[in-house]
Amino acid sequence: MTGHQPSTPVVCSFSNPEELIESLAHFILKAQKESIQKKGRFTVAVSGGSLPEQLNGLIGKDGVKWDKWQVFYADERIVPLDHEDSNHALCTTQLWSKVPIPQENIHTIDPALIDAASVEPASDAEDALEEIADAYEQELIREFANKDSARFPIFDLILLGVGPDGHTCSLFPGHPLLSEDDRWVAYITDSPKPPPRRLTLTFPVLNHASRVAFVASGAGKVDTLHTVLDKPEEGLPASRVRPISPGQVYWFVDDAAAAKIEYPKTPFKL
Ligand SMILES: O=C(O)[C@H](O)[C@@H](O)[C@H](O)[C@H](O)COP(=O)(O)O
């Protein structure tokens, strides 16, 4: 059944972060073009960390059809949308405020539910956290239902980072959420990277995407990339992102981050 095989990663390494950022922008433009041709829209999930800044190559670039983008967060922290820890706030500062994307095309967690999901102790917030995750799942269902008749949403592109421990989205090593095989969106209250309360897309969503692109740059990522790509048997969360065929996972890295990778690199071409 070739149609259900996990894809093998395509790793492209660039000599410096600037070249990486420019090539990533061209890759995204190509994905956008194909998606709009096929479906009239471009569904994208983005994470936080250093990723939003690495999308800077899109600012002012010809051919970006911002009005066709439908953006979701691959993971989000349970804080107000203008809080310094919010991925939405970060993306707004780094990107959305600099490009003509319609506000309604950016799908945030429901701000009306954040206060109740923030009460202490976390055990008193479980119902509200469940509600906020359900509401975000409904937001995804509204976008994807009746458009792609699949069990899980099929994002055109999911853009991810990887943490030093091999986490991606808010899927952390050893966490019970790694075996979630049903829900599209889940919450956690014990993220080892602060803040502790977060929502995240689950592995089935990541692994049904048409394309997932990891972005990692700098020498600080060197050991993580070596383990994630050369030792997938260790099962780090980022190693487990292997969208089923014809989906594909790409790694956009720079030479500093890629210094220890033995996994074969592919020359970047569009
Ligand atoms: O909200 C988050 O915490 C992120 O979505 C997280 O998964 C991030 O992508 C990695 O921790 C890598 O972060 P850096 O790119 O900053 O290393």
ipTM attached to this prediction: 0.97
Ligand 1 mean position, distance from CA 86 (Å) = 12
Average pLDDT over residues 169-180: 97
111-122 residue pLDDT tens: 999 999 999 999
Kindly state if the Cβ of 49 falls inside 6 Å of ligand 1: yes
| Residue 8 CA: distances (Å) to CA of 97, 135, 246, 251 | 35, 33, 11, 11
**Strand ranges, E, within the chain:** 10-14, 42-46, 69-73, 75-77, 106-107, 157-160, 185-188, 198-201, 211-216, 248-254
How far, in Å, is the centroid of ligand 1 from the Cα of 170?
A: 8
At 221-255, the pLDDT tens digits run: 999 999 999 999 999 999 999 999 999 999 999 99
- The three-class DSSP label of residue 12 is strand
- Ligand 1 pocket check for 47: Cβ under 6 Å: yes
Cα–Cα distance measured from residue 72 to residue 106, given in angstroms and rounded to the nearest whole number: 6
* Spans of all domains in the chain: 2-258
Substitution site in 94, 193, 253 for ligand 1 pocket (most atoms within 8 Å of beta carbon): 193
> Euclidean distance between the first and final Cα of the chain, in Å?
28
- How many other CB atoms are found less than 10 A from the CB of residue 176? 9
Q: Is pLDDT of 4 > 80?
A: no
C-beta of residue 85 within 8 angstroms of C-beta of residue 120: no
Confidence at 2, pLDDT banded by 50, 70, 90: very low
Q: Does the beta carbon of 168 lie inside 6 Å of ligand 1?
A: yes
The model carries a pTM of 0.97
3-state secondary structure of 9: coil
Spatial separation of the C-alpha atoms in residues 190 and 237, rounded to whole Å:
16
d(CA 224, ligand 1 centre) in Å: 13
For residue 149, name the pLDDT band (cuts at 50, 70, 90): low
Query: What is the CATH architecture assignment of 2-258?
Result: 3-Layer(aba) Sandwich (3.40)
- State the distance from the centre of ligand 1 to the C-alpha of 139, rounded, in angstroms: 23
Q: What is the pLDDT of residue 145?
A: 79
Burial string for 44-72 (b: 16+ CB within 10 Å, else e) reads bbbbbbbbbebbbbbeeeeebeeebbbbb
